[in-house]
Structure 1
């Protein structure tokens, strides 16, 4: 029995040793969203403070796992009054729920450079599954340091009310559908 436990421990640690971690280049990345206002125009916003990483053991990224966190108080829509409303209890409740997060559960190739990513998005302590369409470019060597890097764009939609965001806000004022868009560069560690 001890030999079997030792064998599996070595096997697990060996597999972990081959995992590749890719870190986010924050200067070339953004986590953003778009909502429709008064059913006639769009309002964009983004989070100033966030981080993300990708781990994978396979060169084709078929087992990639993406993780992202963002500080809800760092929300920015270029309108201070609206940003303060969004940080409040009716929306992100940044004082009590300071972070939102995403962790992928699957990453499947659809075609060359196109992937479907499923994962769990957590906002205000509410976790829901989401699906994102991903475009990935690379890996290519970073011209500055020659380390492998990939470019990624992930897009999808959520219903804000599923996460308790502006539950009392009428849809005619702010759409329930929120478009998500994350773009960035990840560099192999």
Structure 2
């Protein structure tokens, strides 16, 4: 009888956890929010936001109810060339002094395959908010041997149009592509 009671208590505990809301945050050391643009139509220039955070609130193991919030500091933009970074932060492009942050807030998650989906949300920067859809790949969840934390990995890819956000309007597509690729690799652990 005692054995069955232990199993029942364990099952009830599992069921209560299923309805529990969890908040996950990104591990900055193992996460990257990057972008790629074409320069002069012949090469690609990549960069990243060094200072960003992602918070995911979900109660389902498949993340389909996830509410995702991303915040990046424009001043943390890094393409590896200081002169270019300063130009991108200027009023010619992001105008970091006037618009210091980039934000994304999800509106829905759509499953498209076993470990794939579409993330819908609103992207805001340079004083403009537009709906965007990006592709998501779920790489799985493991226990991190360094800290014993449950850790989930995702990759997000998508394209936004520079012109939708009035970003660098003086620079034609022959100089900088209108399409900006977004590439993010993110590891998450539950917020404790």
Distance in 1 of aligned mates of 2:151 and 2:80: 31
Residue of structure 2 in register with 1:116 after alignment: 118
**1:30-52 deviation per Cα after TM superposition (whole angstroms, max 9, x unaligned):** 11000000000000011111111
Distance in 2 of aligned mates of 1:84 and 1:146: 40
Structure 2 residue matching 1:35: 3-state secondary structure: strand
1:1-189 equivalent positions in 2, closer than 5 A: 18-189=20-191
Distance in 2 of aligned mates of 1:171 and 1:64: 36
Structure 1 residue matching 2:44: 3-state secondary structure: strand
Structure 1 residue matching 2:27: 3-state secondary structure: strand
- Count of aligned residue pairs for this structure pair: 174
Q: Name structure 1 gaps, 5 residues minimum.
A: 1-16
Structure 2 residue matching 1:175: 3-state secondary structure: coil
Structure 1 residue matching 2:163: 3-state secondary structure: helix
Pairwise CA RMSD of aligned residues?
1.4
| Superposed displacement of residue 82, structure 1 | 0.9
Residue of structure 1 in register with 2:7 after alignment: none
Distance in 2 of aligned mates of 1:60 and 1:42: 35
**1:150-178 deviation per Cα after TM superposition (whole angstroms, max 9, x unaligned):** 10100000111111110111110000000
Bigger radius of gyration among the two: 2
Q: Name structure 2 gaps, 5 residues minimum.
A: 1-18
| Superposed displacement of residue 120, structure 1 | 0.5
**TM-score normalised to structure 2 length:** 0.87
**TM-score normalised to structure 1 length:** 0.88
